[in-house]
Structure 1
Amino acid sequence: MAITQDQIQEVSLIKPLKDCGTGDCSDEASGCGCSETGDAGTRAESRRTVVKSFLLAAFAFKGLVSARSAVADSADLSEEEEKKLPPQVGDRLTYFSRRKRGPFLKLDDLEAGGKQLVVVPIDRESGLIRDGSRNNQILLQRFDVSELEANTLANSGEGAVAYSAVCTHNGCPVTAWDRNAQTYMCPCHQSQFDPKNAASVVHGPAPRKLPALPLGVENGEIVVVGEFTSRVGHGRKTG
Structure 2
Amino acid sequence: MRPGGAGEGAMPPASAGRPDTPQAPVILPTVLRDPQQATAYSVPELPDVSLVVPQSGGATVPVPGPRLDAALSKPERDRCFQGTTPANLAVNFPMQAFTLGGDPARRATGGIVCATETTKDDGSRATPAGFPSTGEIGGHAVERGHLVAARLHGSNLVDNIVTQFRKVNRSDVKIIENAVAELLKKSPNGVFVLYQVRAQYPSRDAATPSWIFIDAMGSDGFTCFADIPNVPGGNKTKVRC
Classify the TM-score, shorter chain: under 0.3
**More strand by proportion, 1 or 2?**
2
Structure number with larger C-alpha Rg:
1
Q: Larger RCO: Structure 1 or Structure 2 (Cα < 8 Å, ≥ 6 residues apart)? A: 2
TM-score relative to the length of structure 2: 0.27
TM-score (norm 1): 0.27
